[in-house]
Amino acid sequence: MAEIIDGKKCAAGIRAEVARRVEALSSKGVTPGLAAVLIGDDPASRYYVRSKEKACGEVGIYSEVIRRDAGTSQSELLQLVDDLNANPKIDGILVQSPLPEGLDETEVTLRIDPGKDVDGFHPYNIGALSLGLPALAPCTPAGIIEMLIFAKVDTQGKEVVVVGRSNIVGRPVAGLLSLKGPRGNATVTLCHSRTKNIESVCRRADILIAAIGRPEFITAEFVKPGAAVIDVGVNRVEDSSRKSGYRLTGDVDFDAVEKVAGYISPVPGGVGPMTIAMLLSNTVTIAEHRASK
Ligand code: NAP
């Protein structure tokens, strides 16, 4: 049976470290600040923003949530970003996605000051990261790297297969793991919906990362015995036995894969808590930079 990689426990360690860094900053008179912009009333987005706000409060990060209705125009949203770019109390800016139809997410990302781009989505940070230069790493990929370190899964010379090539998870985590250095040095294959013989490609992996958005896509047949399997997916599937009528499941068939893999991260309680922990860590990194000026 696979060892479970407990994302909550790993995230608790990161948050404790973040709290210590916040304290050290406070002795220099600096309080890290995070602003979240929430447009519209998508229930999942509201939930994510509330969780981020609560997490900030727990470690002593100042947080502001700017809520606007779905009728907000592109120019109003850009003005909001400009104001936050200029606000000295705000270190990190995040604009919760998805934005309501009609708003251009790319233009908004480009408008965020790269130095305050706490999600690490700005092309400046993506470019710097891919060159191995200091940059704000996107939170989910950075969290996956921390989970591998926490579980003592070495990446040096390992075969890594990432399924999913999104700009926020698949592509950056593949980039980070292929960088030269102690947290990388892996041989990385990036799969997507056009990949041929995906099952046999995945079975080569010492470390398999699933970021697809398809419930239980990765079955035991995809997994080499002893491999480390990181499940990024968060999917709602109908479940009449639950009061809510649904349950959350990952991209990995946990019950079957747990019997084959050496390590596995659960959903929920795996990558999700790490994403928020890394958001806090990125906010403090920006504030530390401000304090050092
Ligand atoms: P995305 O933008 O929806 O992209 C999905 C990727 O999966 C695409 O590259 C797509 O290939 C690939 N794909 C889809 N069907 C496939 C198939 N049958 N075979 C092989 N590849 C296939 O994904 P995302 O934003 O990265 O999100 C992925 C999942 O992670 C979602 O469930 C999301 O909710 C979850 N997520 C979780 C966290 C967290 O903190 N836990 C954070 C972010 C995302 P093509 O490019 O060819 O279309």
- Per-residue pLDDT at 293: 87
Give 10-residue mean pLDDT values along the chain (293 residues).
98 98 97 98 94 97 98 98 98 97 97 98 96 95 98 98 98 97 96 98 98 98 98 95 94 98 98 98 98 92
pTM of the model: 0.97
CA distance linking residue 125 with residue 19, whole number of Å:
25
Residue recorded with tokens 């981020």 = 52
Q: CATH classification of 139-272 is 3.40.50.720, yes or no? A: yes
Q: Give bridge partners of residue 237 from the DSSP assignment.
A: 247
Q: What is the pLDDT of residue 116?
A: 98
- In the chain, helix, strand, coil percent, each to 5? 40, 15, 40
CB count within 10 Å of CB 48 equals 19
Between CA 225 and CA 243 the distance in angstroms is 36
Q: Do domains 29-114 and 139-272 have the same CATH topology?
A: yes
From 52, 116, 158, 224, active-site residue: 52
* Catalytic residue from among 91, 116, 117, 119: 119
Cis check for the bond before 98: say yes or no (omega within 30 of 0): yes
Bridge partners, residue 94, by sequence: 36
Task: Please tell me the distance from the alpha carbon of residue 84 to that of residue 81, in angstroms, as a whole number.
Answer: 5
Looking at residue 115, its pLDDT comes to 97
Coil, strand or helix at 14: helix
119 is catalytic: yes
What is the CATH number assigned to the segment(s) 29-114? 3.40.50.10860
Our answer to whether residue 52 is catalytic in this structure is yes
Instruction: Say what the pLDDT of residue 72 is.
Output: 98
Q: What integer pLDDT is reported at residue 180 of this predicted model?
A: 96
Q: Is-catalytic flag, 83?
A: no
Question: What's the pLDDT at 292?
Answer: 94
pLDDT attached to residue 21: 98
